[in-house]
């Protein structure tokens, strides 16, 4: 994560896709090591095992694609930043192996083009943009109402590219293997556009979307590490540390739950007072409840109210209307902030008079500060009252506690440090059943209302399909 921005920046230019098979092959060779040691080479924090179910479905789709019978889009879950690497492992290692075992003939490499968030190169560096372009990546500005160049490129690749295309329909990570965030309608719209483009070209390929689920589990439940991390967060937040006795370290998830709720309640109270005092937000010290409201539900209600206020602070500054859910609001704020930092309205920032350059730097620095309110809210958009209670596993505790770690890190540090290591992980990938877009296309052609409803229905069905791929 870069240090805070203190000066205006050149525009974020579109990075053209320049697929290079040699770069892809080199990445494939090193992939197992990258998965295992992606964060810190000396810590046990990577992914050491990947399993996949129903992979033969994906192998058959590639066989039909290579035979010119179908065009397809891979819609994969996006709970963590490791997801693209797991997808690359699935396509480069598992699918070819299953195809050989099942006698499914594949004539060419198994790979896909893919969309990625242009913002990834902001915090990771320009090298990532170069790498992604070489292995088939197309950058998209998530908050832009219409990123024409990205949409046109993706649409062309979907209909005419030599490979399928992969998209994460959630639009970003949510930190929860067991929760699918509301999907953005772009995947469904791309599907209908592809059918339309094929129809105009008098081509007979069928267009399908294949949902793929990804979940993560620790090889060994990291209760001891969770006890250590909770203790650290308690100390950092000013709470007395309630470390668990080593002999009872993994015997009672209820103790971890109580500590987590205590920490969350303390942090929410502190942040409510922060926004109440310094940003003049009207946050009552009590919240209206019904008789059946549980302590967890009350805590989540306070969290959601706090997220709303944090977003309002940023929206008021940027002049953005608070429309849609938390994710929609975060996307628009990100784009608004980037417009203040990466100035497309300035031909050359280096030729500005010192006075104008100073003003531009001032605006960029303040925009970066205001965007931090959005980043805090963005981390907690998927948090629910019963996520841990439903399944009090070490994985769900870890996901939630790490989100709190991210939040504290953003506040107390100028950079966002790497997450602490909790142990080796394994990934479970589940391939769903293909969803035919072609079958739905005709019924969506009556008028604009029918087209919008067709996109909405397909998005809803894809959401359900991805949720069914969550393995308990």
The string of pLDDT tens digits covering residues 322-365 is: 999 999 999 999 999 999 999 999 989 999 999 999 999 999 99
**Alpha-carbon distance values, 87 to 108, 127, 191 (Å):** 18, 21, 20
CA distance 62 to 68: 10
Q: Is the pTM of this model over 0.85?
A: yes
Q: Which tokens sit at 301? A: 């209600």
Residues 6+ apart with CB under 8 A from 70: 61, 64, 205, 206, 207, 208
Q: Which tokens sit at 9? A: 């920046």
Give pLDDT, residue 1: 43
Residues spanned by CATH 3.40.1130.10 within the chain?
21-219+425-468
State the fold for domain 21-219+425-468: Glycerol-3-phosphate (1)-acyltransferase (3.40.1130)
Backbone torsions φ then ψ of 315, nearest 5 degrees: -65, -40
Model pLDDT for residues 102-161, shown as the tens digit of each residue: 999 998 889 999 999 998 998 888 999 999 999 999 999 987 767 899 999 999 999 999
Looking at 191-195, 244-248, 364-368, which range is the least confident one?
244-248
CA distance 144 to 42: 39
* 471 DSSP assignment: -
State the first-to-last Cα distance of the chain, in angstroms, to the nearest integer.
Answer: 33
**Alpha-carbon distance values, 44 to 39, 219, 220 (Å):** 9, 11, 11
């Amino acid at each position: 994560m870069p240090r805070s921005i203190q000066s205006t920046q050149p525009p974020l230019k579109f990075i053209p896709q320049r697929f290079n098979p040699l770069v892809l092959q080199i990445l494939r060779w090193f992939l197992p090591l990258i998965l295992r040691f992606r964060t810190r080479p000396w810590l046990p924090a990577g992914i050491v095992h990947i399993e996949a179910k129903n992979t033969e479905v994906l192998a058959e789709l590639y066989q039909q694609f290579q035979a010119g019978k179908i065009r397809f889009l891979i819609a994969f879950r996006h709970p963590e930043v490791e997801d693209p690497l797991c997808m690359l492992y699935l396509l480069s290692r598992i699918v070819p192996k299953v195809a050989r075992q099942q006698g499914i003939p594949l004539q060419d490499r198994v790979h896909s083009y893919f969309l990625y968030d242009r913002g990834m190169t902001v915090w990771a560096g320009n090298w990532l943009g170069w790498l992604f372009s070489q292995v088939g990546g197309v950058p998209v500005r998530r908050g832009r109402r219409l990123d024409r160049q990205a949409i046109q490129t993706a649409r062309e690749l979907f209909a005419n590219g030599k490979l399928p295309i992969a998209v994460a329909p959630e639009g970003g990570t949510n930190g929860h293997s067991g929760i699918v965030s509301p999907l953005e309608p772009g995947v469904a719209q791309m599907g209908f556009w592809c059918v339309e483009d094929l129809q105009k070209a008098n081509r007979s390929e069928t267009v399908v979307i294949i949902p793929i689920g990804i979940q993560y589990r620790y090889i060994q439940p990291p209760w001891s590490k969770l006890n250590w991390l909770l203790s650290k967060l308690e100390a950092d937040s000013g709470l007395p540390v309630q470390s668990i006795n080593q002999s009872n370290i993994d015997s009672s998830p209820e103790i971890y739950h109580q500590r987590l709720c205590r920490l969350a309640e303390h942090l929410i109270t502190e942040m409510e007072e922060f926004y109440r005092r310094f940003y003049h937000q009207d946050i009552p010290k009590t919240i209206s409840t019904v008789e059946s409201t549980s302590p967890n539900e009350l805590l989540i209600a306070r969290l959601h109210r706090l997220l709303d206020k944090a977003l309002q602070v940023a929206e008021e500054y940027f002049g953005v209307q608070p429309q849609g859910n938390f994710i929609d609001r975060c996307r628009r704020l990100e784009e608004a902030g980037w417009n203040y930092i990466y100035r497309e309205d300035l031909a050359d920032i280096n030729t500005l008079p010192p006075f104008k350059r100073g003003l531009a730097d001032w605006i960029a620095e303040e925009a970066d500060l205001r965007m931090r309110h959005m980043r805090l809210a963005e981390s907690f958009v998927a948090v629910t009252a019963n996520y841990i209670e439903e399944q009090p596993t070490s994985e769900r505790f870890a996901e939630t506690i790490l989100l709190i770690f991210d939040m504290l890190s953003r506040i107390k540090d100028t950079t966002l440090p790497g997450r602490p290591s909790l142990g080796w992980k394994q990934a479970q990938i589940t391939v769903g059943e293909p969803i035919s877009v072609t079958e739905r296309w005709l019924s969506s052609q009556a008028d604009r209302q029918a087209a919008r409803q067709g996109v909405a229905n397909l998005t809803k069905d894809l959401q359900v399909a991805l949720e069914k791929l969550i393995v308990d």
